[in-house]
Amino acid sequence: MASASALAGQMLASRILPSSVMAADPAPTLLTHAIPATGEQIPAVGMGTWITFNVGNDEKLREQRTEILKTFFAAGGAMVDSSPMYGSSEEVIGYCMDRIGDRKPLFSATKVWTVSKWLGVRQMRESESLWGEQQFDLMQIHNLLDWEAHLETLKDWKAEGRLRYTGITTSHGRRHDELADILVKQPFDFVQLTYNIQDREAENRLLPLAADNGRAVIINRPFRRGELTAKLAKHPLPGWASEIDCTTWAQVLLKFVISHPAVTCAIPATSRIDHMAENMAACRGAMPDAALRKRMIADIETL
């Protein structure tokens, strides 16, 4: 578990204002954003594990995923997001972390994905064991599944110090009405949802609601499950990419997401070490301002 002070000590805090462009820096610092509930800073790019870490018992793949995590931490990364829904991913994370040894950089985020309070408790205990964590940094309710039953446990566990933050997730634009209601009425510290340069529905209501109600926001599917990176790879980078220190489309897509003022971090998933290094580089250098964000949308829509 990474404490607030340890993280704050490692990283320089910065927050993007809607109409500011962060000037390019010769040794750019890592972009971090504050978790509204506490002010703790976390890096604006984390990592997802759906499919990519579901590699079962394959020793070679497990070693390669360990290298991906090492690359992630070496680049300043912290938040790793998983779920019991992701096959062997939680077990593989635990394996990798055992090999890495030093757990300090890790901001552990998993989910409860089952029905009933009792099964939820059992599943969360199992996740602790698989990751080798005594206290998750963040426990989220996956896809709103039986959220009323799990919320009670999450509140109790937080009060007991067994987890640090609570959260709730959705994706693919599902159940936004219900999530909006939950965001206003329930005490979740984090919300996780889908937002990318093509799927921008969250801009209308959920992102402003999260900001107004002091919720941290995690963005899943920043590459639309790889569809956007694959589609854009056929096109040269626009001239403005260099203004925001991007050398690849993946960085353009990530900077678009993490420069939204309500977004705390994005969690792209990758099975490749070079892609991990590339993605973490999006956490550094100049960021798009509001005007450039509009231009990015318009230009990419024509491709």
Q: CB of residue 19 vs ligand NAP: minimum separation in angstroms?
A: 27
Q: Is 265 helix (H, G, I), strand (E, B) or coil?
A: strand
Angle, helices 117-131/89-100, rounded to nearest 10 degrees: 30
Interaction of residue 226 with ligand NAP, rule CB under 6 A: yes
Beta-strand runs (E) in 49-189: 79-81, 107-112, 136-141, 163-169
Q: Which is nearer to ligand NAP, 106 or 289 (CB)?
A: 106
Interaction of residue 170 with ligand NAP, rule CB under 6 A: yes
Interaction of residue 157 with ligand NAP, rule CB under 6 A: no
Q: Which is nearer to ligand NAP, 221 or 293 (CB)?
A: 221
Binding residue (CB under 6 A) for ligand NAP from 16, 40, 65, 81 = 81
- Calpha distance 133→283 (Å, rounded): 26
Distance of CA 303 to CAs 199, 237, 296, Å?
15, 11, 11
Interaction of residue 235 with ligand NAP, rule CB under 6 A: no
Q: CB of residue 8 vs ligand NAP: minimum separation in angstroms?
A: 25
Binding residue (CB under 6 A) for ligand NAP from 176, 200, 224, 231 = 224
Q: CB of residue 286 vs ligand NAP: minimum separation in angstroms?
A: 19
Sign (positive or negative) of CA dihedral 86, 92, 94, 100: negative
Interaction of residue 269 with ligand NAP, rule CB under 6 A: yes
Kindly indicate which of the ranges 1-9, 43-51, 126-134, 201-209 contains the residues binding ligand NAP, using the contact rule CB under 6 A.
43-51
Binding residue (CB under 6 A) for ligand NAP from 77, 120, 222, 285 = 222
- Calpha distance 273→227 (Å, rounded): 19
- Calpha distance 224→230 (Å, rounded): 10
Give, as one character, the DSSP assignment of residue 31.
Answer: P
Interaction of residue 275 with ligand NAP, rule CB under 6 A: yes
Q: CB of residue 169 vs ligand NAP: minimum separation in angstroms?
A: 3
Q: Is 117 helix (H, G, I), strand (E, B) or coil?
A: helix
Q: CB of residue 239 vs ligand NAP: minimum separation in angstroms?
A: 21
Structure tokens at 67: 């290298």
Count the neighbouring beta carbons within 10 Å of the beta carbon of residue 277: 15
DSSP H/E element including 56: none
Interaction of residue 46 with ligand NAP, rule CB under 6 A: no
Kindly indicate which of the ranges 118-126, 128-136, 154-162, 219-227 contains the residues binding ligand NAP, using the contact rule CB under 6 A.
219-227
Enumerate the β-bridge partners of residue 190: 167, 216
Helices (H) then strands (E): counts for the chain: 11, 10
Q: Which is nearer to ligand NAP, 153 or 171 (CB)?
A: 171
Distance of CA 229 to CAs 123, 271, 279, Å?
34, 14, 12
Q: Which is nearer to ligand NAP, 206 or 289 (CB)?
A: 206
Q: CB of residue 61 vs ligand NAP: minimum separation in angstroms?
A: 12
Q: Which is nearer to ligand NAP, 104 or 272 (CB)?
A: 272
Binding residue (CB under 6 A) for ligand NAP from 279, 281, 286, 288 = 279
Give me Rg for the CA atoms of the chain.
18
* 8 Å CB contact between 189 and 37: yes
Residues in the site for ligand NAP, rule: CB under 6 A? 48-50, 52, 81, 142-143, 169-171, 192, 220-226, 229, 250, 267-272, 275, 278-279
